[in-house]
Amino acid sequence: MKKIILVAAIALFGITSTQAQSKKMDKKSTKSEAPKLEGAGIVFEEETIDYGKISHNADGKREFKFTNNGNKPLVISNAQGSCGCTVPTFPKDPIAPGASAVIGVKYDTNRIGAFTKTVTLTTNVSDTPKVLTIKGEILPDAPAEGTTPATKS
């Protein structure tokens, strides 16, 4: 009986140490995905946000999360929406090397139908602007209960 308990304890210890090692390797591989660059750098978790199908007048706020993967401060000098219905916000202060921040975007969900809009960032990373995308579909309001949809004559 003691041998069975000992074997079970050793097996359990071996499984947990293997899981811990694989978690350590996962953390290392995540950090290596964004190598340090000479100068400022910017790497986004996602460059496209899909709102999916959302209700008319729903919350249109979303965030693009990013990290400065360079060795110098990142400066975002401008963020411009592709139309007046897409309003971005961005950090005004420099983002230190290794630090993270967000680009906020608010889409006007009063407009019914499918949409694809962009936010163009001007930074000190490159002369070429960085373009982020939002997309989705705003659904029309459902008819009120007890009413019937209008029919065409």
pLDDT tens, 1-12?
Answer: 666 665 555 655
Say if pTM beats, i.e. exceeds, 0.75: no
The pLDDT score that the predictor gives to residue 142 is 79
What mean pLDDT is predicted for residues 61-85?
96
Contact 77, 94 (CB under 8 A): no
Residue 131, token pair as written in the block: 């373009």
Residue-wise over 4-40: b if at least 16 C-beta within 10 A, else e?
A: eeeeeeeeeeeeeeeeeeeeeeeeeeeeeeeeebeeb
Rounded average pLDDT over 21-30:
45
Average pLDDT over residues 128-136: 97
Annotate 19-66 with DSSP letters as a single string. HHHHHHHHHHHHHHTS--BSS---EES-SEEEEEEEETT---EEEEEE
What does the alpha-carbon distance between residue 67 and residue 32 come to, in Å, rounded to a whole number? 13
